[in-house]
Amino acid sequence: MKRNASAQWRGDLKSGSGTLSTSSGVLSNSAYSFHTRFEDGKGTNPEELLAAAHAGCFTMALSAQLAQAGFTAESLETTCTISLEKQPDGFAITESHLELKARVPGATQDAFDRAVQAAKTGCPVSKLYKANISLNYTLEP
């Protein structure tokens, strides 16, 4: 299975702007810019999208882990915060922090802890942070 998204950018870093689109159409020419990434401009940014992806993936993985343990969640609410920090060699994503509030009838703390830890390490987005990054590129005339 492969999913894709595209980005377009025009101009320099600070005054330029771009759009992000996904093949599903959920994002369609969604605006992003220096202001939406490093300030409070209207639009999205890569870190916000990473946070949404990690929160969604982890929550689905936890639902699967709970089901394997014989539990069905009444409610799983996850917030993810991606930290983007200036480093000596440029900016870096330094952390993806997940906050979970859960209601799982009948689950013991031990069973819940095991399910949460398995979801944290097993969710594909968590694994992405350790993945090889491949790249093909072309400079057009």
Is 140 a residue whose pLDDT tops 80? no
Choose the weakest-confidence range: 41-45, 70-74, 76-80, 87-91. Answer: 41-45
Return d(Cα 29, Cα 27) in angstroms, integer: 6
Q: CB 48: neighbour CB atoms within 10 A?
A: 15
Domains and CATH numbers, the chain: 1-44 (no CATH), 46-130 (3.30.300.20)
Q: In this structure, are strands 17-22 and 30-33 parallel, antiparallel, or unpaired?
A: antiparallel
Return d(Cα 60, Cα 54) in angstroms, integer: 10
Q: Is the dihedral of CA 106, 111, 115, 117 positive or negative?
A: positive
In this prediction, residue 108 carries a pLDDT of: 92
Convert the pLDDT of each residue in 40-61 to its tens digit: 888 999 999 999 999 999 999 9
Q: Which CA distances in Å does 44 have to 18, 52, 54, 138? A: 10, 11, 16, 26
For the entire predicted model, the pTM comes to 0.90
CA 55 to chain centre: 6
Convert the pLDDT of each residue in 95-130 to its tens digit: 999 999 999 999 999 999 999 999 999 999 999 887
Of the candidates 80, 36, 89, 23, the residue with the CA atom closest to the CA atom of residue 55: 80
